[in-house]
């Protein structure tokens, strides 16, 4: 197995143009693979090393690679990686540091935060937010309190996290949208109660 093959396997069949060129492939080789249909272009500079419809897992890797330095999956896309949410069609959500910019792409929704590095899970690949931050992001963008509560409860039932860890993560995010309401839901999860707070509109 070549180094490029190893990279492709780690990234679920997705590689970048620099990765291909730095591991023995010429621009002509790359062009021929695309032309022949053995590889396919997913995004500018991002390629699938296989033919056929790319699965959601490959598109998530592609979105992170396209978004570059410091990028990580977030919101529902991170939840799909952990098994908290089933994959659904649609754009991939990616978090990047606040001082970075990424060329817009229709398959990606970009989020920015100056706290992005602190929210990255140190072990999971592809890069993604910690489970606690993923749950808080999903809860804060929920349509109502019951939906937010489902994200919190589901993550705890699946033993992806605990209510106590969610409470600790929330304490580091004082500006989270609907933070007061989410704090009430998390506190309820700690106590084992299911009372729903009023849910403010956007």
CA distance 129 to 137: 10
Residues in the chain: 202
CA distance 136 to 133: 5
Which phi and psi (to 5°) does residue 32 adopt? Answer: -70, -40
Contact 89, 77 (CB under 8 A): no
Contact 108, 163 (CB under 8 A): no
Each domain of the chain, given as residue ranges in start order, spans 3-48, 56-129, 132-191
User: Would you state the pLDDT for residue 53?
Assistant: 94
CA distance 125 to 107: 20
Collapse the DSSP code of 160 into the 3-class scheme (helix H, G, I; strand E, B; otherwise coil) and give the result.
coil
Token couple for 106: 């229709």
Token couple for 184: 């009430």
Cis amide prior to 154 (ω within 30 degrees): no
| CA distances in angstroms from 180 to 112, 167, 177, 191, listed in the order given | 22, 12, 8, 17
pLDDT of the chain along its 202 residues, tens only?
699 999 999 999 999 999 999 998 999 999 999 999 999 999 999 999 999 999 999 999 999 999 999 999 999 999 999 999 999 889 999 999 999 999 999 999 999 999 999 999 999 999 999 999 999 999 999 999 999 999 999 999 999 999 999 999 999 999 999 999 999 999 999 888 878 888 887 6
CA 15 from chain center: how many Å?
A: 18
Which phi and psi (to 5°) does residue 72 adopt? Answer: -155, 155
């Amino acid at each position: 197995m070549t180094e490029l093959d190893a990279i492709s396997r780690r990234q679920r069949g997705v590689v970048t143009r620099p990765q291909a060129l730095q591991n023995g492939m010429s621009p002509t080789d790359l062009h021929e693979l695309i032309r022949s249909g053995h590889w396919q272009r997913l995004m500018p500079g991002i390629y699938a090393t296989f033919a056929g419809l790319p699965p959601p897992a490959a598109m998530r890797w592609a979105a992170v690679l396209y978004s570059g330095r410091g990028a990580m999956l977030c919101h529902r896309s991170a939840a799909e990686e952990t098994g908290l949410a089933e994959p659904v069609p649609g754009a991939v959500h990616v978090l990047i540091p606040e001082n970075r910019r990424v060329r817009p792409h229709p398959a990606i929704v970009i989020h920015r935060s100056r706290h992005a590095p602190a929210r990255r899970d140190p072990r999971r690949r592809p890069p993604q937010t910690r489970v606690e931050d993923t749950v808080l992001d999903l809860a804060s963008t929920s349509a109502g309190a019951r939906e937010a509560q489902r994200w919190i409860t589901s993550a705890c039932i699946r033993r992806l996290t605990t209510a106590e860890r969610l409470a600790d993560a929330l304490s580091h995010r004082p500006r989270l949208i609907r933070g007061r309401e989410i704090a009430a839901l998390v506190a309820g999860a700690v106590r084992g109660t299911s009372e729903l707070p009023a849910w403010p509109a956007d």
